[in-house]
Amino acid sequence: MSRKATASAPSNIAFIKYWGATDLDHALPANASLSMTLEVCRTTTTVQVHDDDGPDTIRIAPGDGTLTTAPDSFNERFARHLARLRERLGVHGRVEAVTHNSFPSDAGIASSASGFAALAYAISAAFDRLDTPEEMSVRARLSGSGSAARSTFGGYVMWPSDPGAPDSPATQHASPDIDLRDVIALVQGGPKPVSSLEGHRRAATSPHFATRQEHLPERTRRLSDALTGGDFDTFTELLEEETIDLHLVAMSSTPPILYWEPGTLAVIRSVRRLREQDGVPCAFTMDAGANVHVICPPSSEDAVAAAISALPSVHDVIRDRVGSGPRNESEHLF
Ligand code: DP6
């Protein structure tokens, strides 16, 4: 008997960033992070589990009806995640998987958060073992991707739930009723120059890392209050401060990591102009890459999208919003 299931899970954008780990292999973070779950940017994965014990396979569905093989680095992380999922669930079987991203795969948008959360859901669904979002967070984190641990909840998510216990799961911090939009400016195609994994490894070599850790609890508390209290001005100040702090640590690591491209700065300037000259509330943030996420209330979305689309260094814009989390899908990819 073979078991088949399909699930989709969203990507997320961190407001307070995970950067640096005490145990990278198990994604035990140096600090708590806080993110917004997205809705449009998501990964759909179909798994079929066969009774025999052959090698697992994963193929990518670009969306044009074809299937392609995944790069080696992806295959290795996929195989390791599957092995750990089987162990946690106490199940066996060879897995055949096909995965599809709703966003262009060369867009430079982090797909590991949505990808590993979707894999954890699809495997759990195939064995009728779907569980609470907390348990699913633990299963997603078995991939080694910390951001995946946050993609099992909708709304706004804190991971770990207990900052004193880095192995605790994520938890929903605020519901998707707080309606924020994420207008994503794509300024760079292709993979980022240095992976997040390598960035976490280098983080503590920065002379600014320790200062960042000292400031984070207070910044997280204030940003959270501003978010839940609807104080978008304070939220903006703290979100941008946090973004620059993350990149300051990256740039001052040994060896230094420079994620910014000319288009990154063009979008940052445009966001400031919109806010300061045109009175449009909006705030920039980035993860470990050059693309810029512009977070704004619904009333700003059209103005933000129009302004950044007009920049010559922005080659595409994705309009996303706070989302409701993973779900089962009835249509299989193969
Ligand atoms: C800068 O180790 O979760 O985006 O699994 O490669 O996506 P990937 O990265 P992960 O680190 C994420 C780093 C970050 C900040 C964040 O999302 O918290």
Give the chain's domains with CATH numbers: 2-176 (3.30.230.10), 181-321 (3.30.70.890)
User: Would the CB of 32 count as within 6 Å of ligand 1?
Assistant: no
- Asked if 111 contacts 70 with a C-beta cutoff of 8 angstroms, the reply is no
Q: How far apart are CA 264 and CA 235, in angstroms?
A: 21
The predicted-structure confidence for 90-146, as pLDDT tens digits, reads as follows 999 999 999 999 987 666 666 899 999 999 999 999 999 999 999 999 999 999 999
For 151-181, how does the pLDDT look when each residue is reduced to its tens digit (9 = 90+)?
999 999 999 999 899 999 999 999 999 999 9
Say how far apart CA 182 and CA 298 lie, in whole Å: 9
Neighbour tally for 103: CB within 10 Å: 21
The pLDDT of 5-34, averaged and rounded, is 97
Contacts of 324 (CB under 8 A, 6+ apart): 37, 39, 154, 155, 176
Q: How confident is the model at residue 82 (pLDDT cuts 50, 70, 90)?
A: very high
CA–CA separation, 153 vs 143, rounded Å? 17
Tell which residue, 13, 10, 9, 8, has the closest CA to residue 289. Answer: 13
Q: How many CB atoms lie within 10 A of CB 315?
A: 14
Which residue in 155, 150, 151 sits closest to 175, CA to CA? 155
143 Cα to the center of ligand 1, angstroms = 12
Nearest-atom number in ligand 1 for the CA of 13 is 17
- Is-contact 237 276, C-beta < 8 A? no
Taking the model in full, what pTM does it have? 0.97
Strand order in the sheet with 283-285: 283-285, 292-296, 181-186, 316-321
Ligand 1 pocket check for 242: Cβ under 6 Å: no
CA atoms in the 13 A half-sphere facing the CB of 102? 16
The CA 241 to ligand 1 mean position distance, Å, reads: 18
Say if ligand 1 is within 6 A of residue 291 CB.
no
Place of tokens 């973004």: 243
